[in-house]
Amino acid sequence: MSARRLAVIAADIVACRACPRLVEWREHVAEVKRRAYAAETYWGRPVPGFGDPAARIVLVGLAPGAHGANRTGRMFTGDRSGDFLFAALHRAGLASQPTSTSRDDGLTLRDVFIVAPGRCAPPDNHPTREELERCQPFLDAELTALRRRRVIVALGGIAHAAFLAHAARVGRPVAGPRPRFAHGAEHEVAGLTLIDCFHPSQQNTQTGRLTPAMQDAVFARAKAAVDSTRG
Query: What's the CATH number for 2-227?
Result: 3.40.470.10
Phi, psi of 58 (to 5 degrees): -120, 125
Q: What is the mean pLDDT of the chain?
A: 96
Residue 195 has pLDDT above 60, yes or no: yes
b/e code 127-166 from CB counts within 10 Å (16+ = b): beeebbebbeebbebbbebbebbbbbbbbbbbbbbbbbbb
Report how far residue 216's alpha carbon sits from residue 212's, in angstroms, rounded to the nearest whole number. 6
Q: Is the pLDDT of residue 231 over 60?
A: no
What is the tens place of the pLDDT at every residue in 107-119?
Answer: 999 999 999 999 9
pLDDT at 185: 97
DSSP codes, 38-61: TTS----S----EE-TT-SEEEE-
List residues bridging with 109 in a β-sheet.
Answer: 95
**How do the domains of the chain map onto residue ranges?**
2-227
Q: 5-42: per-residue pLDDT in tens?
A: 999 999 999 999 999 999 999 999 999 999 999 999 99
Strands 50-51 and 57-60: unpaired
pLDDT at 9: 98
Distances (CA, A) of 61 to 33, 35, 36, 177, 227: 23, 26, 25, 24, 23
**pLDDT category of residue 229 using cuts at 50, 70 and 90:** confident
**d(Cα 106, Cα 87) in Å, to the nearest integer?**
15
**Percentage of residues in the chain having pLDDT higher than 90:** 93
pLDDT attached to residue 221 = 98
- pLDDT on residue 230: 61
Mean pLDDT of 120-145: 96
Looking at the chain, which runs of residues are DSSP E strands? 50-51, 57-60, 112-115, 151-155, 186-189, 192-197
Q: What is the C-alpha to C-alpha distance for residues 199 and 90, in angstroms, rounded to an integer?
A: 17
pLDDT of 134 reads 97
Residue 129 CB contacts under 8 Å (≥ 6 apart), including other chains: none
Backbone angles phi, psi at 65, to 5 degrees: -80, 145
Q: What does the pLDDT look like over 39-98, one tens digit per residue?
A: 999 999 999 999 999 999 999 999 999 999 999 999 999 999 999 999 999 999 999 999
Q: How confident is the model at residue 173 (pLDDT cuts 50, 70, 90)?
A: confident
Predicted confidence at residue 174, as pLDDT, reads 86
Model confidence at 124: pLDDT above 60 = yes
Q: 38: buried, middle or exposed (CB in 10 Å: 19+, 13-18, 0-12)?
A: exposed
Q: Is 36 buried (19+), middle (13-18) or exposed (0-12) by CB count in 10 A? A: exposed
Q: Report yes or no: 170 and 140 within 8 Å, Cβ to Cβ.
A: yes
Q: What is the pLDDT of residue 176?
A: 82
Q: Which of 88, 47, 49 is nearest to 65 (CA)?
A: 47
3-state secondary structure of 187: strand
